[in-house]
Amino acid sequence: MGVFLVKRILSVIPILLLAVLILTGLIHLSPVDPAQAYLSAAHIQPTDELLAAKRAEFGLDQPFYQQYFDAVIRLAQLDFGTSYLSGKPVLEDVLLRLPSTVELAVTSLLLALVISIPLGFLAGIKKNGFFDHLSRAIAFIGASIPSFWLGYLFIFFFAVKLDWFPVGGTGSVMHLILPALTLAFPLIALYTRLLRGSVIEALNEPYVLFARTRGLKEGRILGKHVLRMAIPPMITGLGMNLGKLLTGTIIVETVFSWPGFGRYFIEAIFDRDMPVIQGYVFLAALVFIGSSLLVDIIQAVLDPRLAKKGGTV
């Protein structure tokens, strides 16, 4: 297990280096000149002298390999530079807004698990029953309706028409429910169908038939054997969507005026705040890579065969 963990952690390093390489290259391919964007954000009339000075300050006059090396050193220290608009370090702004995003993401994840696990389990053991049809309807809606449209529907019905929840903003649990449900709905649809399929597959396994022939109670078979074997694929799906969950808050935070990291990123795009954009892209890549690594570790703990065979059975 120790060798497996070391190999998986070391395999992350070249992926991060590649991510920094792509990020550095996108600066050169972008039609936005960072020096021009900085002067525009500061409301300074750009001149050739000022542009040249700022390009030198940002290191844009250096060869590409030197810019890449400098970017690796800075990002390794979580130094994303200074925001053009706020004049503060990007990391400081991120840490200020990240708790709101984490609060929304964690609430959405818990909500998705609380709903999808019992619904998917019941849909699997009662195939073609009421819960199975309900899970299909949720899966269809979750796959068909974009998050921003679903958020506006929730606002229209539950906030405007029924006046049960506030339209947007933050400050109380009531402000959290609608954006969390909007973010969780696609996950509920995915995890419900994923768990349903795993339960149906587990019910057809020989060990379940053997347990029944031994006279074990149905509740024990379903809980100890079927659910236990059906959960690992769901964990894989959960890990693969963890990064998407954190970065997917961009749309939901914008719709509900939630003061999180995603909304901060959207504002940076409109304001051409390049250090913020670069910092967000790198952190998003870090979250995706970290969640994938976490899933591999959890799966190896649950099934030691993965560690012996390098991560695949």
Report the Cα 133 to chain-centroid distance in Å: 28
Cα distances (angstroms) measured from residue 213 to each of 29, 206, 223: 66, 11, 17
pLDDT of residue 311: 46
Task: Give Cα 138 distance to the centre of its chain.
Answer: 21
Inter-residue contact 68 to 22 (CB < 8 Å): no
Contacts of residue 156, Cβ cutoff 8 Å, sequence gap at least 6: none
pTM of the model: 0.75
Distance (Å, rounded) from C-alpha 310 to C-alpha 313? 8
Q: How many residues does the chain have?
A: 313
Cα atoms in the Cβ-side hemisphere of radius 13 Å centred on 163: 0
Three-class secondary structure of residue 82 per DSSP: strand
Q: Which two tokens stand for residue 188?
A: 């509920």
10 Å Cβ neighbour count for 12? Answer: 14
CB 93 within 8 A of CB 84: no
Q: Which tokens go with 130?
A: 């009421």
SS3 110: helix
Q: State both tokens at 17.
A: 């280096």
The DSSP output letter for 226 is I
301 CB-side CA count, 13 A: 9
Provide the CA 195 distance to its chain's centre, in angstroms.
20
Helix (H/G/I), strand (E/B), else coil: 89? strand
Question: What tens-digit pLDDT sequence spans the chain (313 residues)?
Answer: 667 677 777 888 888 888 888 878 877 776 767 777 777 766 777 777 877 887 787 777 788 888 888 888 888 888 888 887 777 888 888 888 888 888 888 888 888 888 888 888 888 888 888 888 888 888 888 777 887 888 888 888 888 888 888 887 777 888 888 888 888 888 888 888 888 888 887 777 777 776 777 766 767 777 666 777 777 777 777 766 776 676 667 788 888 888 887 788 888 877 777 788 888 888 888 888 887 777 777 777 766 665 565 544 3
C-alpha triplet 109, 115, 116: angle, nearest 5°: 85
